[in-house]
Amino acid sequence: MKQLCLGLILVFLMTSLAPFKAFAESAKTNGAPAIKSEAVILLDANTGSVLYEKNSHTQLYPASLTKMATAIYAIENGNLDDVVSVSAKAYETEGTRVYLEEGEQVTLKHLIQGLLINSGNDAGVAIAEHLNGNTRSFAKSLNQYLKEKIGVEQTHFTNPHGLFDENHYTTANDLALITKYALKNPIFREIFGTKELAWDGESWDTTLFSHHLLLRGEIPYEGITGGKTGFVQESRYTLSTSAEQGELSLIAIVLKADRNEYAYEDTVALLDYGFDNFEVAEVATNEKFFGEQNESYHLNKPLKYTLKKNESVQVTMNDQGVLRVLGDDGRKLASTQLKMDIPKELEGTRAEINPVDLAKKNHIPAILMFVFLGVGIVYLQKTIKNMKKST
């Protein structure tokens, strides 16, 4: 009987994972990926280039992807060694939890780990109350932080965890920006990429496992560095994934997938599309660029950009000293403000010079010429007038 039960369990596991393994092995595509989810975006985290998008500016419900924003906000605005006292409200929070007890003492960092790795809604409330007193004040501060610090434009959060609220929404594009910003922080990056963590709670001693199947390796994929899952009925399945291969560092956001396997299938298709079809190039610092007055400009550091493999690009500079890299279809791959080289005669007088200054300098000879010409005309008119008087 035991052998029969074990056999049935094994068959169930194999059949439940088979769809994931099948599309993981067969999802490679030479063209644009076929996407089932409502909205997606694929972003190169190093260059900021958008490699693919579908409805990326459509406002949707993020579910637990909200917790990425809560985590980076807490890391940057709190003391990770602070000991947090868990409130009754945090203890009573519904949904996925790390089973905090009322009055339990937990460090802020441990709460952030429980928030991201096990998607603990109770940990989110405890973090919010510790940092801002209550979840409403926390949401107000979080929204301001996301707008001013990260530059999101279509996001409004009402809670720290992503449980459904009709006024709690964001976009795939904004979530990609949040993920891109957060991954620059080594603490967030470490927790975001944690597959498992021992959890010694007051009422729950266990090992937390990431819910993200690509990060855990249940869906094999080379180079996965982090991930967060989400689900509520109104948002359906949501997924954030980061992966690196060579110089490419990709972020894939998937929103409103009707089935869990669709979210992963779309993520794998996006990553395959990015790694198979794109590469990183740069404009070197030793390249010089010249304006209309022959003034020269330079880069302070190499300008990296992401382009399609074997794509030709055009590098141009406008009259304001802004360098732009354009793809062969005219799309902007990168842009930056150049620095103007200091003329030798001005060395030691100014740290830098702007285009208007140099334009004025280069026009000085012409201005002097017109001044002398004007003086000459006035002198000639007076001479003619005096000659008429003498006659």
- Please check whether residue 335 is in contact with residue 355, taking contact to mean a CB–CB distance below 8 angstroms: no
Q: How many CB atoms lie within 10 A of CB 172?
A: 32
> Would you say the C-alpha torsion 120, 124, 127, 130 has a positive or negative sign?
negative
Handedness of CA 287, 290, 296, 298 (dihedral sign): negative
Active site residue 64: yes
| CA pair distance 116, 104, nearest whole angstrom | 19
Q: Considering only CA atoms, which of 318, 328, 327, 330 is closest in space to residue 289?
A: 318
Measured between alpha carbons, how far is 355 from 338 in angstroms, rounded to an integer? 10
8-23 pLDDT, tens digit each: 334 343 444 444 444 4
| Catalytic choice (37, 54, 56, 67) | 67
Q: What is the DSSP string of 123-183?
A: HHHHHHHHHHSSHHHHHHHHHHHIIIII--SS-B-SSSS----TT-BB-HHHHHHHHHHHH
- Note the Cα 165 to chain centre separation in Å: 24
C-alpha 180, offset from chain centre: 3
Residue in 36, 52, 306, 59 with CA at minimum distance from that of residue 175:
59
Task: State both tokens at 88.
Answer: 């009754």
Q: Is 380 helix (H, G, I), strand (E, B) or coil?
A: helix
What is the DSSP annotation of 320-369?
TSEEEEE-TTS-EEEEEEPEEPPPGGGTTT-S---HHHHHHHHHHHHHHH
Q: What is the DSSP string of 355-367?
A: HHHHHHHHHHHHH
Q: Among the options 119, 210, 235, 240, which is catalytic? A: 119
Q: Hey, is 8 helix, strand or coil?
A: helix
Give pLDDT tens digits for 64-90: 999 999 999 999 999 999 999 999 999
Nearest CA to 224 among 236, 232, 216?
A: 216
What is residue 208's predicted lDDT score, i.e. its pLDDT?
Answer: 94
Q: For 204, which DSSP code?
A: -
Q: What pLDDT is attached to residue 360?
A: 45
pLDDT attached to residue 334: 85
- In whole angstroms, what is the distance from residue 203 CA to residue 299 CA? 57
Written as six digits, the tokens of 98 are 């790390």
The CATH class that applies to domain 24-279 reads alpha beta
Q: Does 137 participate in catalysis according to the annotation?
A: no
Residue 383 pLDDT: 55
Please give the DSSP secondary-structure letter assigned to residue 15: H
**What is the spatial distance between Cα 292 and Cα 347, in angstroms, rounded to a whole number?**
22
Buried (b) or exposed (e) across 123-139, using 16+ Cβ within 10 A?
bbbbbbbbbbeebeebb
Query: For residue 192, what are its two tokens?
Result: 């975001």
CA distances in angstroms from 323 to 283, 320, 339, 360, listed in the order given: 10, 9, 10, 22
Ranges in the chain, pLDDT < 50: 1-29, 350-353, 355-371, 388-391
45 beta partners: none
- Catalytic residue status for 28: no
| Residue 282 amino acid letter | E
pTM score: 0.80
Catalytic residue among 37, 49, 56, 64: 64
Two tokens, residue 135? 């979840």
User: Are 40 and 266 in contact, with CB atoms under 8 Å apart?
Assistant: yes
Cα–Cα distance for residue pair 245/263, rounded to 1 Å: 21
